[in-house]
Amino acid sequence: MAFEKVRIIMKILSWEELKGEYLKLITDKRRRYLLIAVTVPLLFGFAFLLFHLYEGIEAGRAEIAATKKRIAKYRLIVKERGELDARLVSLNQSLGRAEAMLLTGNTSALAAVDIQNTLNEIALGSGVEIKSMQIPASQKQDSEQYISVPVQFTVSVTIRQLKDILYKIEASPKFFLTVERVGISVAGAGGPGQMRADITVSGIMKNVKE
CATH of the domain at 164: 3.30.70.60
Among 100, 116, 135, give the residue marking a domain's end. 100
Asked whether residue 14 falls in the same domain as residue 75, the answer is: yes
Query: Residues of the chain with pLDDT > 70: what percent?
Result: 60
Among 100, 130, 146, give the residue marking a domain's end: 100
- Residues 157, 202, single domain; the answer is yes
Radius of gyration of the chain (CA): 53
CA 137 – CA 113 distance, rounded (Å): 14
Residue of 152, 146, 148, 118 whose CA lies nearest to 132? 152
Cα distances (Å, whole numbers) of residue 185 to 21, 152, 178, 194: 141, 15, 21, 9
Q: Is 129 helix (H, G, I), strand (E, B) or coil?
A: coil
Domain shared by 89 and 116, yes or no: no
93 shares a domain with 17: yes
pLDDT over 90 at 104, yes or no: no
Where does residue 127 fall: left (phi above 0), alpha (psi -120 to 50 degrees), or beta otherwise?
left
Do 190 and 135 sit in the same domain of this protein?
yes
Nearest Cα to Cα of residue 198 among 136, 140, 147: 136
Cα–Cα distance, 107 to 209 (Å, whole number): 8
Q: Same structural domain for residues 121 and 144?
A: yes
Co-location of 193 and 114 in the same domain: yes
Reference 101, options 116, 111, 86; nearest CA is 111
- Give residue 59's pLDDT: 65
> If you average pLDDT over residues 147-151, what whole number do you get?
90
As for how many domains the chain has, the answer is: 2
Whether residue 96 sits in one domain with residue 3: yes
Q: Which domain holds residue 42?
A: 1-100
- Report the pLDDT value the prediction gives residue 109, as an integer from 0 to 100: 85
pTM exceeds 0.75 for this model: no
Which pLDDT score is estimated for 8? 45
Domain end point (choices 57, 81, 100) = 100
**pLDDT tens for residues 154-189?**
999 999 999 999 999 999 888 888 999 999 988 766
Pair (85, 145) in one structural domain: no
Quick one: 168 and 76 in the same domain? no
161 and 81: one domain? no
pLDDT score for 18: 55
Each residue of 72-91: b (16+ CB within 10 Å) or e? eeeeeeeeeeeeeeeeeeee
Same domain for 1 and 94: yes
Q: What's the average model confidence in pLDDT over 100-111?
A: 80
